[in-house]
Amino acid sequence: MSVCRALRTGLVASCLLTAGGCSFEPAGDQPMKAPLLYRTWWARTEACSGRSGDFDRVQWFVVEGPGFACPGGTCAGRWESSHRIYVAGDWKNNEMVVRHEMLHELLGRPGHPDPPFGVGCPLTWSTWNGNRAALGNSPEWPDTLRID
């Protein structure tokens, strides 16, 4: 069992004492090859944020279902400073959710400073002005589902 997986079984102390700390690893995550469309979304996110970054540095993971457990509750997506992006399977084709995580990667930090979140890059549940009807198989816009 990896040190970070031990976190889920309650061995918090040993995890926190390990050099380098732990990364987030949701149960059931699987590596995912980023669809070609993600490169288009990356370019849009670079343009709206005025930032640039290395798309190929990102490691993509999918967690099947409508959401997954994360420190703040249940997430549709989550960015980690280790250049990992996790997306719930039901949201992996949702431009807003995926680009939201891309913006975290471009900023290199958590949190939602406005700008660029909101003004500049409207990539939050409340600011997205894209086509909400084009969600495909994605669930309805949630009130409690997080995008970290």
Can you give the pLDDT at residue 77? 95
Asked, for residue 21, whether it belongs to a domain, the answer is: no
pLDDT digits (tens, 9 = 90+) for 100-115: 999 999 999 999 999 9
Asked, for residue 106, whether it belongs to a domain, the answer is: yes
Asked, for residue 93, whether it belongs to a domain, the answer is: yes
Separation CA 73–CA 91 (nearest Å):
16
Q: Which domain holds residue 55?
A: 28-147
Asked, for residue 9, whether it belongs to a domain, the answer is: no
How far does the chain reach from its first CA to its final CA, in angstroms? 26
Asked, for residue 122, whether it belongs to a domain, the answer is: yes
pLDDT band at 118 (very low <50, low <70, confident <90, very high): confident
Contacts of the segment 131-140: beta carbons below 8 A, 24+ positions apart: 135/94, 136/93, 136/94, 137/90, 137/93, 138/90, 138/91, 138/93, 138/94, 138/97, 139/66, 139/90, 139/91
Answer whether the bond into residue 35 is a cis peptide, omega within 30°: no
The count of structural domains within the chain is 1
Average pLDDT over residues 84-97: 95
Can you give the pLDDT at residue 72? 83
Asked, for residue 51, whether it belongs to a domain, the answer is: yes
Asked, for residue 10, whether it belongs to a domain, the answer is: no
- Supply the pTM of this predicted model: 0.78
Asked, for residue 53, whether it belongs to a domain, the answer is: yes
